[in-house]
Amino acid sequence: MKAAAGLVLGIETSCDDTAAAVVAGGAEVLSSVVSSQVDLHAVYGGVVPELAGRAHLELLTPIIGEALERAGLDGGKSLDVVAATVGPGLIGSLLVGVSEAKALALAWGVAFAGVNHLEGHLFAALLDHPDIEWPVTVLLVSGGHTLLVSMEGPGRYRLLGQTLDDAAGEAFDKVARFLGLGYPGGPVIERAAARGDAQAFAFPRAMVGEGLDFSFSGLKTAVVHAVRRRPDATDEDVAASFQQAVVDVLVAKAVRAAVSMGARGICLAGGVAANGALRQAVTEACGSLGVPAYLPSLAMCTDNAAMIAAAGWWQVEHLGPTSLDAAADPNLRLPLLA
């Protein structure tokens, strides 16, 4: 392997974003290219796995070329690591990124790092806040996951709570689809909510007073019933009341977790962390607790390959390269401390 300049090509193809990035030393983002497939899937109201895999196959090689070029690299020979998401995600999509990463690592004679997508989201926060003091409570809220994690440092995670049914982002996507607002749900709900009254509907805050687990499927059902009962209700009021219910529960649990573990900050991660109401509520809650709120930039909330490259570099340095025999795993879990 080459000298430890730590030049890593990251590849992310776990869902509907095709992304490549070059990160130096696990910290400096030299390029980050994300091609969203939103337009491709929007007509179906959600991600169609077969279409996603085919689109990754078409898009990935040119996007890797663009990421290398924007980083000022002439090909991949000066890289140290090629890192790719190995799970969790859609298997047909994961296989495209993993196969290409292994082939490139082999061709360029560099290490391969198979990265857990959830761990990638945790590293996204580190890229924006390298000065974090441990431990922090991380609220990881995406389209597929809702986790409360005590992070004691890179690679050191304890699971505090998780959703028992729908993920927070999934609830946004399902309510947006029900209201006919489009896909993905988060941004369209947030836009509608900005013009609505968050008090218009008293939607349930499931399990808000107990424990650190979440449940969002009842909230989605409550939205459906409320709209059927009051067909004159505006989408804006429904969206604002729904968003407030999600934010209230997420923040209440994150605060409870932070207090119980004596956390030195609360950190957001995942696509839902782009939500302005959630960011504001977490900032206010941290103000009351007297600890910092670590909010990743919007580009670091949603899926990207810089976070995969950063996690990949840490992994190769601390755990060594991943074998080229390693398989993609659609159900991969966050690796936890014993």
| Footprint on this chain of ligand KG4 (rule: CB under 6 A) | 15, 142-144, 169, 172-173, 184-187, 190, 270-272, 274-275, 302-303
Amino acid identity for residue 199 in this structure:
Q
For the segment 8-37, give every residue that binds Zn ion (CB under 5 A): none
- Partner that binds at residue 144, options ligand KG4, Zn ion, none, CB closer than 5 to 8 Å by kind: ligand KG4
137 vs 302, which CB is nearer to ligand KG4? 302
x/- track of binding to Zn ion for residues 128-147 (CB under 5 A): --------------x-----
CA proximity to 11, closest of 200, 227, 76, 132: 76
Least Å distance, CB 335 to ligand KG4, is: 17
Helix/strand/coil for 139: strand
DSSP bridge partners of 294? 267
Residues 6+ apart with CB under 8 A from 182: 42, 176, 188
47 vs 291, which CB is nearer to Zn ion? 47
Q: How far apart are CA 300 and CA 194, in angstroms?
A: 23
- Partner that binds at residue 184, options ligand KG4, Zn ion, none, CB closer than 5 to 8 Å by kind: ligand KG4
Cis preceding-peptide flag for 62 (omega within 30 of 0): no
CA proximity to 60, closest of 28, 31, 96: 96
Least Å distance, CB 31 to Zn ion, is: 20
Least Å distance, CB 301 to ligand KG4, is: 7
Least Å distance, CB 110 to ligand KG4, is: 27
- Partner that binds at residue 190, options Zn ion, ligand KG4, none, CB closer than 5 to 8 Å by kind: ligand KG4
Residue keyed to tokens 């389209």: 143
- Partner that binds at residue 10, options ligand KG4, Zn ion, none, CB closer than 5 to 8 Å by kind: none
119 vs 303, which CB is nearer to Zn ion? 303
Q: How far apart are CA 332 and CA 119, in angstroms?
A: 11
For the segment 141-200, give every residue that binds Zn ion (CB under 5 A): 142
Q: How far apart are CA 277 and CA 103, in angstroms?
A: 43
x/- track of binding to Zn ion for residues 88-127 (CB under 5 A): ----------------------------------------
142 vs 150, which CB is nearer to Zn ion? 142
The upper half-sphere exposure of residue 336, i.e. CA atoms within 13 Å in the direction of its Cβ, equals 11
Residue 54, both tokens: 């085919």
Q: Quick check: 150 and 256 in contact, CB under 8 A?
A: no
- Partner that binds at residue 112, options ligand KG4, Zn ion, none, CB closer than 5 to 8 Å by kind: none
Q: What are the contacts of 184-187 at 24+ separation with CB within 8 A?
A: 184/38, 184/143, 184/271, 186/271, 186/272, 186/274, 186/275, 187/274
- Partner that binds at residue 265, options Zn ion, ligand KG4, none, CB closer than 5 to 8 Å by kind: none
Q: How far apart are CA 217 and CA 252, in angstroms?
A: 18
For the segment 281-320, give every residue that binds Zn ion (CB under 5 A): 303
Query: Within 10 A of 29 (CB to CB), how many other CB atoms are there?
Result: 21
Between β-strands 7-12 and 81-87, what pairing exists: parallel, antiparallel or unpaired?
parallel
Least Å distance, CB 219 to ligand KG4, is: 14
Least Å distance, CB 27 to ligand KG4, is: 21
Site size toward Zn ion (CB under 5 A) is 2
- Partner that binds at residue 316, options Zn ion, ligand KG4, none, CB closer than 5 to 8 Å by kind: none
Q: Which residues bind Zn ion (CB under 5 A)?
A: 142, 303
